[in-house]
């Protein structure tokens, strides 16, 4: 059944599902997994503590303290201290954010990050200027997975994203531009849910982690459009990476560790000049078709504003690790949008494109996350479908 559902060309893209699965499993996923472990790509610069610009009276300060595990246990009422939960109740957002799995492990590497320029990204809200509030996070020590962040705080963010900033397009006949933002965010949302499902705290008492296939089905697989949007977003970001080949090939990946840096360059080349990718899916997404009509520039401006709002909303995410990955992945998407829509169809992208180091790190880590999600759906999809669709 799932074969029937997800066969043919990925909507608005240029490759079919089977090709994407095969290419990802055989080529992209293995390269990306190695690439993101290199010193250049594993450290992300981020300002994790910014005030939420949308709802200042939300009690963010309370959340802020708890998400860095600074809440003394004595702050919690006695009734919260149930067995096996180390004094923290399961259904309380504030306290769930104090769980170790929600906290960010900060690792500094002073040798990393030299020599890139700082140019503003019109698609994102982030202020990337270096200051004391910026920290470097080792992404390898902070995997995106289940954190226990749920309830009204999480729901409020997703509601604000979908209802105010990227409403579901009115009909199948809507133009590609109108669908774009919704599909990108929905694809990212699917990927976040898939990471929660693939690395879930199955038993808190014994600290047992593993896949939660019921959650995978309930949140993603039972909704075919969420799976389609995941593939769409993956191809969109992949296209951005291949479009920026000249830039990415020449970029400076030095971190002070020549052996590791050579590996980084080698993985980048393996990805950008991959003969299998070029043969099977040379144009994952065709951005040249967009913004063509009379309303093109106006639409683009509107969508850019909506995406900036979504980027700003990441400062309202009330769990530190979720905020880290939310910020990174939205910056990665913003970078893909910047690459694909900077040149207005002209051929001079290499001259006008300027990327920040952090944007490139976010872009590649996002691509890796999407690749992991596509892989997980491909590996688990059929079994889960069989299990949950049988009468
Ligand atoms: P939610 O995932 O909160 O979804 C809310 C509603 O959105 C659904 O009811 C549905 O109507 C709609 N929806 C769901 N999926 C899609 C889709 N793919 N496309 C379109 N519409 C959809 N939790 C963690 O445990 N770990 C994390 O790393 C993490 N990161 C997060 C990052 C961000 C930016 C945000 C906002 C939240 C994050 N969360 C994380 C919380 C997580 O995403 C869920 O909100 C939480 O697990 C509660 O899930 P839910 O079942 O209520 O549905």
Kindly tell me the sign of the dihedral angle through the C-alpha atoms of 316, 320, 326, 327: positive
Nearest Cα neighbor of 330 from 359, 354, 299 is 359
Q: Ligand 1: residues within 6 Å at CB?
A: 144, 146-147, 149-150, 154-155, 157-158, 186, 189-190, 192-193, 196, 219, 226, 317, 321-322, 325-326
Tell me the percentage of the chain whose pLDDT exceeds 90. Answer: 43
Q: Which helix (H) or strand (E) holds 4?
A: helix 2-5
The distance of Cα 86 from the centroid of its chain, to the nearest Å, equals 31
Residue 145: how many other CB atoms lie within 10 Å:
16
Report DSSP state, residue 100: G
* Per-residue pLDDT at 71: 26
| 192 C-alpha to ligand 1 centroid (Å) | 7
Residue 145 counted as an annotated binding residue: yes
- Pocket mutation for ligand 1, best pick of 158, 231, 330 (most atoms within 8 Å of C-beta): 158
Known catalytic residue at 52: no
* Residues paired with 201 in a beta bridge: 209
- Pocket mutation for ligand 1, best pick of 149, 162, 328 (most atoms within 8 Å of C-beta): 149
Considering 13, 50, 166, 319, which one is annotated as catalytic?
A: 319
Considering 15, 50, 316, 322, which one is annotated as catalytic?
A: 322
Residue 147 counted as an annotated binding residue: yes
Of all protein residues, the one whose alpha carbon is nearest to atom 38 of ligand 1 is 322
Model confidence at 194, pLDDT cuts 50, 70, 90, reads very high
* Residues paired with 208 in a beta bridge: 203
pLDDT, one tens digit per residue, over 241-296 is 999 998 898 888 888 788 999 999 999 999 999 999 999 999 999 988 888 878 88
Residue 189 and residue 158: Cα distance in Å, rounded? 9
Segments in 199-290 forming alpha helices (H): 213-216, 224-243, 245-250, 258-272, 275-280
Known catalytic residue at 15: no
Nearest Cα neighbor of 282 from 29, 21, 14, 17 is 14
Q: What is the mean pLDDT of residues 375-391?
A: 84
The pTM of this model reads 0.87
Per-residue pLDDT for 93 more than 80?
no
| 17 C-alpha to ligand 1 centroid (Å) | 24
* Per-residue pLDDT at 128: 63
Residue 49 counted as an annotated binding residue: no
| 319 C-alpha to ligand 1 centroid (Å) | 13
* Residues paired with 106 in a beta bridge: 137
Model confidence at 66, pLDDT cuts 50, 70, 90, reads very low
Q: In ligand 1, which atom is closest to the CA atom of 188?
A: 18
Of all protein residues, the one whose alpha carbon is nearest to atom 26 of ligand 1 is 146
Residue 219 counted as an annotated binding residue: yes
How, if at all, do strands 200-203 and 208-210 pair?
Answer: antiparallel
Nearest Cα neighbor of 322 from 181, 158, 182 is 158
Strands (E), 18-159: 43-46, 135-138
pLDDT, one tens digit per residue, over 345-364 is 555 666 678 888 889 999 99
| 246 C-alpha to ligand 1 centroid (Å) | 36
Model confidence at 161, pLDDT cuts 50, 70, 90, reads very high
Q: In ligand 1, which atom is closest to the CA atom of 313?
A: 34
Q: In ligand 1, which atom is closest to the CA atom of 185?
A: 19
Of all protein residues, the one whose alpha carbon is nearest to atom 28 of ligand 1 is 322
Report whether 66 contacts 97 (CB < 8 A). Answer: yes
Residue 57: how many other CB atoms lie within 10 Å:
6
* Per-residue pLDDT at 2: 47
Model confidence at 183, pLDDT cuts 50, 70, 90, reads very high
Per-residue pLDDT for 59 more than 60?
no
């Amino acid at each position: 059944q799932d074969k029937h559902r997800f066969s043919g060309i990925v909507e608005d893209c240029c490759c079919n599902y089977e090709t994407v699965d095969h290419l990802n499993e055989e080529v992209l996923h293995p390269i990306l997994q190695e690439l993101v472990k290199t010193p250049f790509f594993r450290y992300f610069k981020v300002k994790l503590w910014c005030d939420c610009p949308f709802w200042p009276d939300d009690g963010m300060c309370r959340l802020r303290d708890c998400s860095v595990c600074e809440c003394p246990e004595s702050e919690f009422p006695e009734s919260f201290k149930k067995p096996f939960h180390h004094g923290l109740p399961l259904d309380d957002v504030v306290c769930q954010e104090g769980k170790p799995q929600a906290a960010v492990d900060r690792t500094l590497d002073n040798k990393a990050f030299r020599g890139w320029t700082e140019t503003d990204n019109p698609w994102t809200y982030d202020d990337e200027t270096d200051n004391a509030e910026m920290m470097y996070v080792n992404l390898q020590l902070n995997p995106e997975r289940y954190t226990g962040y749920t309830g009204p705080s999480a729901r409020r963010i997703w509601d604000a994203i979908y209802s105010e900033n990227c409403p579901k397009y009115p009909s199948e006949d809507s133009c590609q531009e109108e669908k774009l933002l919704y599909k990108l965010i929905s694809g990212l949302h699917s990927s976040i849910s898939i990471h929660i499902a693939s690395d879930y705290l199955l038993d808190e008492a014994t600290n047992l982690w593993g896949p939660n296939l019921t959650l995978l089905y309930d949140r993603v697989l039972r909704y075919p459009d969420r799976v389609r949007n995941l593939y769409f977003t993956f191809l969109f970001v992949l296209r951005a990476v291949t479009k920026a080949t000249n830039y990415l090939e020449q970029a400076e990946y030095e971190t002070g560790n020549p052996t590791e840096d050579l590996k980084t360059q080698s993985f980048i080349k393996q990805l950008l000049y991959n003969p299998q990718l070029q043969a099977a899916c040379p144009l994952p997404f065709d951005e040249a078709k967009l913004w063509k009509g009379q309303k093109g520039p106006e639409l683009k401006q509107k969508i850019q504003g909506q995406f900036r709002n979504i980027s700003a909303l990441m400062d309202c995410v009330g769990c530190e690790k979720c905020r880290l990955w939310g910020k990174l992945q939205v910056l990665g998407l913003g970078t893909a949008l910047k690459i694909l829509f900077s040149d207005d169809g002209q051929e001079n992208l290499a001259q006008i494109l300027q990327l920040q180091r952090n944007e490139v790190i976010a872009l590649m880590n996002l691509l890796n996350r999407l690749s992991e999600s596509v892989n997980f759906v491909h590996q688990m999809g059929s079994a889960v479908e069989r299990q949950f669709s049988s009468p």
